[in-house]
Amino acid sequence: MPTIHWKLADGQSISADVMPGMNLMQGATNAGVPGIDSECGGCLSCATCHVYVDEAWIERTGTADDNESAMLDIVTAPRLATSRLSCQITASAALDGLVVHVPGQ
């Protein structure tokens, strides 16, 4: 099972195993990661699960499609080149060890 590492803006880190096929928003919610609000439940309609993918991992997570990109235009934290919505990243063995940064509020 892949282990995902969420780095919080205050320097804390939360790591959790996420079932393959589950999106990172669900994994973060299950692990109690603060700052991942998931108001829409992963329906790609709220952008409250915004994360910054660590640059070392961006090639493996892929890029946002047009719908996700449109939602990233409304995030409250600054949009960066590594911004993604965690509901759109699916856990897999290839993402074991993935590091994502949760923007500060």
CATH number at residue 32: 3.10.20.30
* The residue type at 35: G
What is the span of the domain harbouring residue 33? 3-101
CA pair distance 103, 7, nearest whole angstrom: 9
Q: What is the mean predicted confidence (pLDDT) over 4-19?
A: 97
Res 93: pLDDT: 97
pTM (global) more than 0.85: yes
Interior CA angle at 72 toward 65 and 51, to 5°? 100
Tell whether the model's pLDDT for residue 105 goes beyond 80. Answer: no
Q: What percent of the chain has pLDDT over 90?
A: 87
> Which residues, at least 6 apart from 94, have a Cβ–Cβ distance to it below 8 Å?
2, 60
How many domains, the chain? 1
Q: What is the DSSP letter of 12?
A: -
Cα torsion 51, 57, 58, 63: sign:
negative
| pLDDT tens profile 27-67 | 999 999 999 998 888 889 899 999 999 999 999 999 999 99
Cross-strand pairs, 85: 50
